[in-house]
Amino acid sequence: MRNHSYIIHRVVVIACMAMALTSCADLFDMDDAIVPREMTLETHAVTLMLGDSCVIKPTFTPDSLSNNVVYWMSMDPEIASFVSGDTLVGLSIGTTKALAISVTDYNQIDTCAVEVIDRWQLPDEDFPHETIVYANVLIHGQPPTDDDIIAAFYEGEVRGIGQIFEMRGHSVMRIRIAGDFVDDDELDQQSVAFRCFRRSHHELLTFPQWIFFDGESHGTPSEPLQLQIP
């Protein structure tokens, strides 16, 4: 909510709600509409990569076809904006909130925290050293899907993206992590963090395991390092 207070935004929401009520009058008879006792969003936090989109779904109590119209609003449309109904698109890096307001009762409001991150890609710069990780990756007890991106972060940026390959009948992930020279003093080494972006879930996760960038191999194809998110 850059340069705006929540109160000002609430006024804008209510004003927009009035217009929404007028525009929706042809959809159903407002006098006969069932006013929801509760309207909540199925998720209250989403992460999008730049340019990606997601659909945010509301649920109603009671469940009735006459009260499922929702007015959507982004608190910062420069970061994320609703382009079609409940479809939210990430437009620039940052955080904002998405608001859902029930058309039949604008006091029924729920919000979803939205984070838009840059797309993960390897840097163009050439680095003289690399650390290689062979890993068995599990996310909530399941192997990653094609929509899951596993990346290694070193010195605050993506330095490696995982690739799956088959090794003697089982899948192993290899992550080649690029970096500068490190000496033998472990105190001068920096840690490497591993994160997973689940595109189909619009979720950003961090693995509890980490390593030092030391120019060595961690794990082998036959005895891989365990990268697991419980």
Position 124 in a domain: no
Q: Fill in the DSSP letter of residue 200.
A: T
pLDDT at 145: 93
Tens digits of per-residue pLDDT, 214-226?
A: 889 999 999 999 9
Domain of residue 195, residue span: 129-229
How many C-beta atoms lie closer than 10 Å to residue 195's C-beta? 17
- Among 72, 94, 117, identify where a domain stops: 117
153 and 208 together in one domain: yes
12 and 110 together in one domain: yes
- Cα 102 from chain centroid (whole Å): 25
Position 175 in a domain: yes
- At position 138, the amino acid (one-letter code) is L
Instruction: Tell me the whole-structure pTM to 2 decimals.
Output: 0.80
Question: In the chain, how many domains are there?
Answer: 2
Contact between 167 and 222 under an 8 Å Cβ cutoff? The reply is yes
Low-confidence ranges of the chain (pLDDT < 70): 1-36, 63-67, 181-189
Q: What's the CATH code of the domain at 224?
A: 2.60.40
Beta partners for residue 170, in sequence order: 167
Contact between 71 and 105 under an 8 Å Cβ cutoff? The reply is no
Position 123 in a domain: no
Beta partners for residue 153, in sequence order: 158, 193
Rg of the chain, C-alpha, whole Å: 23
